[in-house]
Structure 1
Amino acid sequence: MQTLTTSCYIARFAETEDDIRAAQALRHRCFRGGDGLDADAFDERCRHMLIEDRLTQKLVGCCRLLQLESGAQIGDSYAAQFYELSALQTYDAPMIELGRFCIAPDVSDGADILRIAWAMMTKYVEEDDIGMLFGCSSFQGTDAARYLDTFAMLRDRHLAPKRWLPRVKAPMVFRYAQRMRRKPDTKLALRSMPPLLRSYLVMGGWVSDHAVVDHDLNTLHVFTGLEVRAVPAARTRLLRAVSGQAFG
């Protein structure tokens, strides 16, 4: 079993049904609250990444990965339930949908967990020659007013290229790119931005021009894409260094 180990955490892929149930239980705590299992039909088609505390072996983070041969399969993704993604059907390289990323609510060093997750992802991406990562980046709650500065920043700096831009499909959306005239406060925007989304954008990612209101998971989410070739060379070297030194 390949694992990625740092001083505090171990990242690995699920190998057993118990591993997957542990991920589903953590997802339930993070997205729905309380005890239970957050499970759906996509779980059987995905690889599940687990991040565990090295000392206690407690699960502190997880996500699931759905690999597609190309954009021709984009309609089979989880995100396609919420976004009209026909613009991506012509994408001619392998893709990975990263979904249900979450960090245990009682963890204080989420940045380190996110870092090891991206390092693990870097190894996977390079081994399988992946061209694009995508998924839904979630804001907690469904009240868009809490995140107006963040949405204004996304509108001004991070909208998808027109050739890939997702169109509206979900019945309830917040069209922030069309309706907002707000000038963003950068500090407030970054403070209220989900960490996963922030890391996508630092690496050159982009987002849809609207947010989906998802009452099932009590979130707002934006479609997020990242072409691997757009990742800055310095960022790639950093992640390769983490993955290269820590794999066993």
Structure 2
Amino acid sequence: MTIEPLDLVVVADQPQARVRGVNAPAHDVLGRIGNLETRLARNASEIDAAQAVRYKVFVEEMKAQIPQDADRRKRDADAWDLVCDHLLVLDTSIDGDPEDQIVGTYRLLRQDVAAQTGGFYSASEFSVGSLLERHPDKKFMELGRSCVLPEYRTKRTVELLWQGNWAYALKYGVDAMFGCGSFPGVIPEEHALALSFLHHNMVVRDEWDVSARPELFRTMDLMPVEAINMRKALAALPPLIKGYMRLGAMVGKGAVVDHAFRTTDVLIVLPITNISGRYLNYYGADAGRFAS
């Protein structure tokens, strides 16, 4: 479940008994703009701090409902945190330890890791299994739990998140990315214009076909195509989804209502080959645009 902008420092590709991505080297910064930098979490303390940021955004701001124990600890945490790599954006101008500097975060889960640890989070809402089976020669990566503190929801943060995501995808030879993009609220009809625009213009086709799970499927076809005002529809898209559309992403068929997080979710699908040349040129084919 995600909000706000788009979308890790290199971590050794080795099994982790407790938390993946710990004990990363100190020279692992993937990108830097001014006082902001992006990298992977280096230890369990930084992952805990990222969970605290997620709690502020998802629970305190968006009023998500989480398990009682997590709520008591003021952490948004689940089992996937143990196996994902955690992308961070840090404000290095803040005095204190790195844990005090984390202002944004994103979870990344590679297909090979998911296959060994219980699958993808998105599979609880969307039928991603059939998509994976259709592409046995491709490597997929799931993007999830994106959040940024309100005062840092800026273009610079967006650029750094994508810088880190792109560098990570290149490192691991990822062929396609997917993950949930969210609209606020649990009534899809309140987003009829934006959802219908996505349905008529951005829906997956052919080999990339993927749908919401049948028992959760909510139609996105809420308005006829001739009734859609393009400019207003684009303005109604959440920043995360709009950003991915600009990159060349598609959306799966059907939306899913997540009552716990109080969102209406769509599945973003972004094959690497679809990424706009404009953005590849901007960030660099080698992710060197903001590399430190």
**Which residues of structure 2 form unaligned runs of 5+?**
1-26, 62-70, 95-99
Distance 1:70 1:54 in 2: 31
Identity %: 27
Superposition pairs for residues 119-130 of structure 1, below 5 Å?
119-130=163-174
Question: Which among 170, 184, 187 is matched to residue 143 of structure 1?
Answer: 187
**Matching of residue 205 in structure 1 with residue 255 in structure 2:** no
CA contact (8 A) 1:151 1:176 kept: yes
**Matching of residue 59 in structure 1 with residue 85 in structure 2:** no
CA contact (8 A) 1:94 1:129 kept: yes
Q: What value does the CA root-mean-square deviation take over the aligned residues?
A: 2.5
Amino acid at match of 2:235: R
Equivalent residue number for residue 37 of structure 2: 10
Offset, 1:71: 10
Superposition pairs for residues 75-94 of structure 1, below 5 Å?
76-88=119-131, 89-91=133-135, 92-94=137-139
Q: Point out the more displaced range, 214-223 or 238-247.
A: 238-247
Structure 1 residues 96-134: Cα deviation after superposition (integer angstroms, max 9, x where no partner): 10000111123352x221111111111111222110010
Distance 1:85 1:181 in 2: 27
Distance 1:71 1:227 in 2: 18
Equivalent residue number for residue 216 of structure 1: 260
Change over 3 Å in CA distance of 1:239–1:245 after alignment to 2 = closer
**Matching of residue 68 in structure 1 with residue 111 in structure 2:** yes
Q: Point out the more displaced range, 62-71 or 226-235.
A: 62-71
Distance 2:173 2:196 in 1: 34
Equivalent residue number for residue 39 of structure 1: 77
Equivalent residue number for residue 97 of structure 1: 142
CA contact (8 A) 1:8 1:54 kept: yes
**Matching of residue 27 in structure 1 with residue 54 in structure 2:** yes
Distance 2:81 2:181 in 1: 18
CA contact (8 A) 2:123 2:129 kept: no
The normalised TM-score by structure 2 is: 0.77
